[in-house]
Amino acid sequence: MSHPPHRQPHTAIILAAGLGTRMLPITATMPKPLVKVAGESLIDFALDRLHEAGIGKVVVNVHYFADMLEAHLRTRAAPEIVVSDERDRLLETGGGVKKALPLLGKDPFVTFNSDSMWIEGGEPNLKRLVAAWEPRRMDILMLVAPLSTSVGYEGYGDFHRDPDGRLHRRGGDPHADFVYAGVAIVKPDLVEGTSEGAFSANAFYDRAIANGRLYGLPLEGQWLHVGEPHTIAEAEKCLAASKR
């Protein structure tokens, strides 16, 4: 008897291996996931959101300042953390997920960029994402942020969103209404059969788009893109304003 896929993902990967070159000079002495915004490191924000959403096991890939990052992870009591070691070779986002696949299991899992932060609107956004996951019609469900309210992001948007929630790339359009907010639920079969070595997670997204099965959930609240040193102050200003 075959079993239906779990509705709720129970594992996740935080993509934390990158060199963080756009965050120089701060990242000359530390990995980007340990950069602090309003006193909290980026990776602790990610781990706390995942724990809050009921994700019990989190894989963290490491490469740049790996020892420093692992030392920080050992200070965490929850969730359970497993390290995927990329010290020998940086595999980019897609390759990092593929290497970690045996640790993530055969059910859908969450991918979380280690520099993704946001101010919640009401119900926590990651809980909303898990609740909205429908594996029968989705291969990937992304958290997407409205371009108009995003802070620290200077691009033109990534996706158009249909009324039913299906996403399409901006393509040649001058702008799109939504930006990928760095968090998604992904089916593992999208990862299997991809190329070996280093490659971008865009390979997974393109597969889902080709199947008409890439969906997006609009973020409630405000997305804070912490990509360069000056965006830290912008994010901290928004966080302070939200607590008044």
Task: Flag whether 41 is in a domain.
Answer: yes
Domain that holds residue 79: 11-242
Give the C-alpha distances (Å, rounded to integers) separating 161 from 142, 170, 199, 209.
11, 10, 26, 12
The CATH number given to whatever domain includes residue 225 is: 3.90.550.10
Task: Flag whether 6 is in a domain.
Answer: no
Task: Flag whether 83 is in a domain.
Answer: yes
Q: What is the pLDDT of residues 146-185, one digit of tens each?
A: 999 999 998 999 999 999 999 999 999 999 999 999 999 9
Q: Which residues contact 83 (CB under 8 A, 6 or more apart)?
A: 59, 60, 61, 62, 70, 73
Task: Flag whether 1 is in a domain.
Answer: no
Task: Flag whether 4 is in a domain.
Answer: no
- Give the number of domains in the chain: 1
Task: Flag whether 145 is in a domain.
Answer: yes
Specify the residue for token string 């359970």.
80
Task: Flag whether 230 is in a domain.
Answer: yes
What is the rounded distance in angstroms from the CA atom of residue 242 to the CA atom of residue 244?
Answer: 6
Task: Flag whether 2 is in a domain.
Answer: no
Q: Is the pLDDT of residue 29 over 50?
A: yes
Output the average pLDDT for the chain: 93
Task: Give me the percent of the chain exceeding a pLDDT of 90.
Answer: 90
